Amino acid sequence: MRVILKTIVIFTIILMPIAVFAALQMNIIPPYTVAVYDATIQKLYANQPKNKRLEYFSAAFLGEPYLNGALGEGVEGEFDQSPLYRSDAFDCMTYVSTVLALLHAHNAQEFKEMIKKINYQSGFVSYQNRNHFTSIDWNPNNEKQGFIKDITMGLHDQNNQSVAQINSTYINKKAWYAQKTLASIKLLSPITPEKQQQLLLRLQGLSREMSNQYSHLAYVPLTVLFNKQGQPNVFVFDQIPSGSIIEIVRSNWKKDGTDLDVSHLGFALRTKDGLVYREASSIENKVIDIPLAEYLRGYLNTPTVEGINIQLVL
């Protein structure tokens, strides 16, 4: 009987889905050298133009690889020791944050402080202080500091009536923290299984410090941006300022234990090739330019995607 039971247990482990098995393991991240990132940033500032700085800084990373969860709290981080800033890989939010920090700083030293202000409440570095949620953390904290401004309600039709609507989403921060697994923890060196479990309990325990919150986010519906034949509404697209941040707004979209309302963000830029979306793409696995209308048209048959929010970079 014991042999049979042992065989069943082993067989069950073998058949365990890969995603579930991965959740049982802590991530050991590759070592990194901040000096390499510093050298890149210093070079960017040394060569920066007087005008069109956003276009310059955002273009500097075209072709760099996509990396989900690219940034963390650095080598001193408790739960995520990914670098505080980097220049070699990005996800969508860390790409936008990095470009925004470069734009609002004047040299490499200022950049290091600016990236903290953009990614953390009050610039205080800790996992629980990080702006994890775009609509209720990242947007309002950076609007408050004067880095961005929501102009979505200002887009209008030919009768000068606003075309924007409001998407309301209940974001359950408590559940988001409570469902964390070992896979959420990223360290530079291994620790014992006992310490892993202690660390996981501390991470999940942060849920007790959190408050759930409603997000009320303005968006321009896809049904306004495109007609029934899928052709872009040029009158509305022409009102999108070059250099603004475009956020993809969703409803009824559950992820990581809660409903979320923003799934992606990048820059709208007017180039010689027209209005493009400059983004860290998880599909292309790198930072790319793609025509904005073409990119958004791809969401027309995605039920949870409602439209776009537009943040003007100040």
Place of tokens 């321009």: 220
The answer to whether position 180 is within a domain reads: no
In a domain, 299, yes or no: yes
pLDDT digits (tens, 9 = 90+) for 268-281: 999 999 999 999 99
**Taking a C-beta distance cutoff of 8 angstroms, is the pair 296, 308 a contact?**
yes
Identify the CATH number of the domain in which residue 144 sits: 2.30.260.10
pLDDT attached to residue 24: 72
Q: Which residues pair with 275 in a beta bridge?
A: 270
- Contact partners, residue 298, CB within 8 Å, separation at least 6: none
For residue 301, being part of any structural domain is answered with yes
pLDDT digits 0-9 by tens, 211-234? 999 999 999 999 999 999 999 999
pLDDT at 128: 98
User: pLDDT tens digits, residue range 236-270?
Assistant: 999 999 999 999 999 999 999 999 999 999 999 99
Q: pLDDT tens digits for 8-42?
A: 333 333 444 444 444 578 999 999 999 999 999 99
pTM over 0.85, yes/no: yes
What is the amino acid identity at position 199? Answer: L
Decide if 143 is inside a domain: yes
pLDDT at position 101? 98
The rounded percent of the chain whose pLDDT value lies above 70 is 93
- Domain of residue 145 covers 134-172+212-314
pLDDT-above-90 percentage for the chain:
92
- Given this model, what pLDDT does residue 13 score? 36
pLDDT at 23: 58
Residue 272: phi, psi to the nearest 5? -60, -20
Which is it for the CA torsion 40, 42, 43, 45, positive or negative? positive
Q: Residue 67 falls within a domain, yes or no?
A: no
The pLDDT of residue 4 is above 50: no
- The span from the CA of 233 to the CA of 212, in Å, is 37
The average confidence (pLDDT) of the chain is 93
The answer to whether residue 30 sits within a structural domain is no
Non-local (6+) Cβ contacts of 76 within 8 A are none
The pLDDT of residue 14: 40
Annotate the chain with DSSP letters as a single string.
Answer: -HHHHHHHHHHHHHHS-HHHHHHTS-EEPPP--HHHHHHHHHHHHHT--SS-HHHHHHHTTTTPBB-TT---S-TT-SSB-S-SS-SS-B-HHHHHHHHHHHHH-SSHHHHHHHHHHHHBGGG---GGGB---IIIIIHHHHHHTTSEEE-GGG-B-TTS-B--EEEEEEE-HHHHHHT--GGG-EESS---HHHHHHHHHHHHHGGGG---EEEEEEEEEHHHHB-TTS-B-HHHHTTSPTTEEEEEEEEEEEETTEEEEEEEEEEEEEETTEEEEEEEETTTTEEEEEEHHHHHHTTTT-TTEEEEEEEEE-
Task: Give tens-digit pLDDT for 145-180.
Answer: 999 999 999 999 999 999 999 999 999 999 999 999
Q: Please state the rounded mean pLDDT for residues 193-210.
A: 98
Number of domains in the chain: 1
Any domain includes 287 = yes
Q: How many residues does the chain have?
A: 314
Return the structure tokens found at 5: 């039971």
pLDDT the model gives residue 65: 98
**Residue at 186 is within a domain:** no
